[in-house]
Amino acid sequence: MKTVVNIFRIITGVLFIFSGLVKAIDPLGLAYKMQEFFEAFAHEGWMPGLMNSLNDYALAFSITMITLEVVLGIALLLGAWKKLTTFLLLLLMLLFLFLTAYVLFSGRIRACGCFGDCVPLTPVQTFAKDVILLIMILVLFFYRRFIHPVHKPMILWIIIIVSTVATIMLQYYVLRNLPVVDCLPFKKGNNVLELRKMPADAVQDKFDYVFVYSKDGKEEQFSAEELPDSTWEFVDRKQILIEKGRNNIPAINDYHLTNDEGVDVTETLMEQDRTYYLFYLRDVPSSKPSWLKTMRRFLEKTNAPVYVVVSQRDKGETFIRKHGLGELPVLTLDATAIKTAARSAATLYQMKGAVVKKKWGTGQLALAP
């Protein structure tokens, strides 16, 4: 049994470290996924007031969860504090299994984001993985007497503290700049217009329709092939999903840049073979941001067109006027699309036509040419 425990300890520890680090390179991604769960639970009627209020703390939860995954994985490999470590791992695994089961059986959320955007798994794969991990952790929990520390307590403490600080600092760096490994559809070299298209192997959802008619105060449902005669009065038409499609959502979805007249200018802008910049503001600052001077210097030296992209036009235009950024044109974009494109509070893209050439987060704006 000792051999089994040690094999399970290594596999579980490595997987938790890997899972945490893959999400640590983009903690906002996990925060957005948490918000999806909070919104879904609120919609289900599970303490909606509490769930809606938790949205504001999603990023803090994300950083905490990621750090905990990495630290617990390292602690397990080191054999440190085996009772507490295995207990916390068991609690985490039960939580993960509940969430992945909800994704799989409710259909309200496409994926749980267990390995971030870099290692996408289907709901079935994720649930199966969590069941196997839960079995291994149960073995570790009940047979923890076979787990022994690999070094003296002082060395273990130093490793755990350094690991904790390093994981938090990595996430802080990413939030100020951009993911160190970009697995999003807006990564450098990608063509935005091409990725807006439906995948070639897409299979669309199949629907059936039921028509509701009434007669003499009584309502009945009819199929499209068996509609009633003219003595019946039409009431409603219902759409019923009979077969779920697959791979039928573009990699870049709901991406429509609109000008001040409400006209979609995405293709007009991106089909031109020229260099220009898109300056995404995920949340328009209500006060003077730290990156403002750097952005002004960039605007003074560049000759290429610069477009500010926001989800709310009035806030974007007010911000530009208030801080003297000139006559920059403002384009609006769906808030969810901006969250995907702008992993930093303000993100500058250098574009050549529809291709992303370079991009910089708030901590990197000084590097822009």
Do 40 and 138 belong to one domain? yes
Query: In this structure, what token pair is assigned to residue 87?
Result: 């207990």
Residue 356 backbone phi and psi in degrees, to 5: -80, 115
Average pLDDT over residues 71-98: 90
Do 213 and 101 belong to one domain? no
Distance from C-alpha of 20 to C-alpha of 68, rounded to nearest angstrom: 8
Per-residue model confidence (pLDDT) at position 357? 93
Do 342 and 298 belong to one domain? yes
pLDDT at 116 over 90: no
Residues facing residue 348 across a β-bridge:
279, 360
The single residue listed with the structure tokens 């219902």 is 238
**What is the number of domains present in the chain?**
3
Do 260 and 172 belong to one domain? no
Helix H segments across the chain?
Answer: 2-24, 27-44, 48-54, 58-78, 82-106, 123-142, 153-176, 192-195, 266-270, 292-301, 313-322, 335-341
The answer to whether position 74 is within a domain reads yes
Do 235 and 266 belong to one domain? no
Q: Let me know: does 277 contact 331? Beta carbons within 8 Å.
A: no
The string of pLDDT tens digits covering residues 184-230 is 888 899 999 988 887 766 666 777 888 999 988 888 888 877 888 88
Residue at which a domain ends, from 138, 160, 176 = 176
Within 13 Å and on the Cβ side, how many CA atoms surround 68?
A: 16
Do 162 and 295 belong to one domain? no
The single residue listed with the structure tokens 């919104």 is 39
The answer to whether position 151 is within a domain reads yes
Q: Let me know: does 281 contact 331? Beta carbons within 8 Å.
A: no
Do 231 and 304 belong to one domain? no
Q: What's the domain range around 211?
A: 206-243
pLDDT at 106 over 80: no
Do 72 and 142 belong to one domain? yes
Do 313 and 223 belong to one domain? no
Q: Is 278 helix (H, G, I), strand (E, B) or coil?
A: strand
pLDDT at 249 over 80: no
Average pLDDT over residues 41-45: 79
Distance from C-alpha of 303 to C-alpha of 231, rounded to nearest angstrom: 70
Compute how many other C-beta atoms are within 10 angstroms of the C-beta atom of residue 15: 17
Please name the amino acid found at residue 290. Answer: S
The answer to whether position 230 is within a domain reads yes
The string of pLDDT tens digits covering residues 306-338 is 999 999 888 888 888 888 777 889 999 998 889
The answer to whether position 192 is within a domain reads no
pLDDT at 101 over 70: yes
The string of pLDDT tens digits covering residues 261-288 is 889 999 999 988 899 999 999 888 878 8
